Structure 1
């Protein structure tokens, strides 16, 4: 499989590509206060991991989720759910005195969601703290790709965040490629400038950026998409996919800049994980040899299906047919 996400040399992988996704899986609850509640699991990078696993034939890509959990029944159940989806847990740290975070989803009649969070003492906050985290941090260099988000960075302690970035520096020198979803959540940062500093440091390591326009416009104050693309080029990001909700996606890569229209959805039920699923489909297509335009079409197709279901993860049977056979006609990059 020949794959490159930037303007560097092509690399041929004779074994399955190894991908690590770093972040936090939480207990997801949805329903109406005072009524029956549905409980599942979710979180931005976990959602992406699940959809990525479903879109890649087992044996072609080996996925691991990197996080920290407790030893409680919910932690055990969530790890079992990852394994059922084909996601490895070899780099999961167990912190005995901690529990997973929890969030509650409420949606309005248009499908827009509101989240209530309980995550202050979540195990994932401490995943990279102390010498016990050395195995996880050193393990990053074993992967061909590492995927993380702005939320992955925000939830960590200052110590853990700096240790992660240092480990990513070392991993990238060894050939690991970094995929970053900006996912800016102001309430998770002490102030915008603290977030901007961390984002800029991470972007200097990023090969593929999967960006939500509204988030970067809030964080960096970009006046338009040209300003955003210029800033990312200056940071050395080789490929940027700019998501704009129900509008078209804009792509900037070594081949140029182009626009890919979104798929129209007549009735949106729940926008939870729309961006996460787009990211998974985009990355899955790129890992399987598709070009950025084809990858954006995959992203729109999956996101359009996801927003027609409640919750972050749609049933396996509802996964759309992505037309994998068409990749044979897509140029390798």
Structure 2
């Protein structure tokens, strides 16, 4: 198990995609009725990076983008958010950047374009070029592991991070459409979970890892028994159960008037990691992550909806909550 005290360095290396999100405009509009769209930075890993930077941390992304106008849009957005992109490299040929067409509604329709995804072209040589000693933790989302050569590159990064003493943070982030089969996903996720120090997922994702949706919480507990320092088992409106080797804490959520559900998980992880970097308790970190998620679902977009430190503090001081666990 890596020393989580290293998180206080507040500098995170994140594996995974940066994409373009197109939101039907104005909020509430269905895609088929839209005449205009708002473009913004998307992709789970880029969203997490934006959340961390907005909350005062540093974040560097390791991925690939398409060598075209959409890829250049993503690079410009990473610069605008202050996300280090020295390890983001363009790829040509038929590779295309991740693109999501999304609605700002409580029951949104979303269309994800991932065929020939550029981020899946990340190679072992690219992760080997990183100076892991310069960072406080390695963060990996499950999507990175869905295809080759990205999967092998990610596991190579796990190995290099471990050698450098970095804690490994794994956000399960299961997207069935990215995987060749559920069986492959279960096998790969189990491997990643066993190598990680902090594992974050929802009840469905842990249940999927367990091979039985009724055994998700037990799977989270098992990962901690096997060596993880923290497992956060998110239960939506029911809050979260956070397991460490010494305790199990149940927390509620911050109720809010949601415009859409997208971005909540990315914001939660960013807020959670930012709080751990500030040496806050695990319980407080979960609650701050929950508050960050509540803010994001009340705003348009994902990356642009991430709260700043001042906005998060104002929310916590003025908002009722959290709900009872």
Offset, 1:237: 1.4
Would the aligned equivalents of 1:7 and 1:254 in 2 still touch at CA under 8 Å? no
Unaligned runs of 5+ in 2: 25-30, 318-325
TM-score normalised by structure 2 residue count = 0.85
Find the residue that maps to 1:170 and give its secondary structure: helix
Residue aligning to 1:124: 119
Residue aligning to 2:63: 67
CA separation in 1, counterparts of 2:7 and 2:14? 22
Would the aligned equivalents of 2:21 and 2:40 in 1 still touch at CA under 8 Å? yes
Q: Superposed, which structure 2 residues align to 1:237-248 within 5 Å? A: 237-248=228-239
Residue aligning to 1:30: 23
- Aligned to 1:162, which of 137, 152, 171? 152
**Higher helix proportion:** 2
Residue aligning to 1:277: 267
Residue aligning to 1:52: 52
Deviations 1:211-248 (A, max 9, x none): 11122224431424541233212442110111111221
CA separation in 2, counterparts of 1:163 and 1:169? 10
Would the aligned equivalents of 2:189 and 2:209 in 1 still touch at CA under 8 Å? no
Offset, 1:197: 1.1
Q: Which sits farther off after the overlay, 35-44 or 293-302?
A: 35-44
Instruction: Point out 4+ residue stretches in structure 1 off by more than 6 angstroms.
Output: 316-319
CA separation in 1, counterparts of 2:58 and 2:55? 12
Would the aligned equivalents of 2:127 and 2:153 in 1 still touch at CA under 8 Å? no
Q: Does 1:115 align with 2:110?
A: yes
CA separation in 2, counterparts of 1:145 and 1:9? 9
Residue aligning to 2:42: 42
Residue aligning to 1:144: 136
CA separation in 2, counterparts of 1:112 and 1:66? 32
Find the residue that maps to 2:214 and give its secondary structure: coil
Q: Superposed, which structure 2 residues align to 1:112-261 within 5 Å? A: 112-128=107-123, 133-139=124-130, 141-142=132-133, 143-154=135-146, 156-157=147-148, 159-220=149-210, 221-224=212-215, 226-261=217-252
Offset, 1:199: 0.8
Find the residue that maps to 1:89 and give its secondary structure: strand
**Alpha carbons of structure 1 residues 165 and 315: separation in structure 2 relative to 1, 3 Å:** closer
Q: Does 1:84 align with 2:77?
A: no
Offset, 1:315: 4.7
Unaligned runs of 5+ in 1: 1-5, 327-333
* Pairs aligned (count): 306
CA separation in 1, counterparts of 2:2 and 2:77? 37
- Indicate the RMSD between aligned Cα atoms, in angstroms: 2.6
Residue aligning to 2:311: 320
CA separation in 1, counterparts of 2:157 and 2:220? 27
CA separation in 1, counterparts of 2:119 and 2:2? 34
**Alpha carbons of structure 1 residues 172 and 39: separation in structure 2 relative to 1, 3 Å:** same
Residue aligning to 2:27: none
Find the residue that maps to 1:180 and give its secondary structure: strand
Offset, 1:316: 6.7
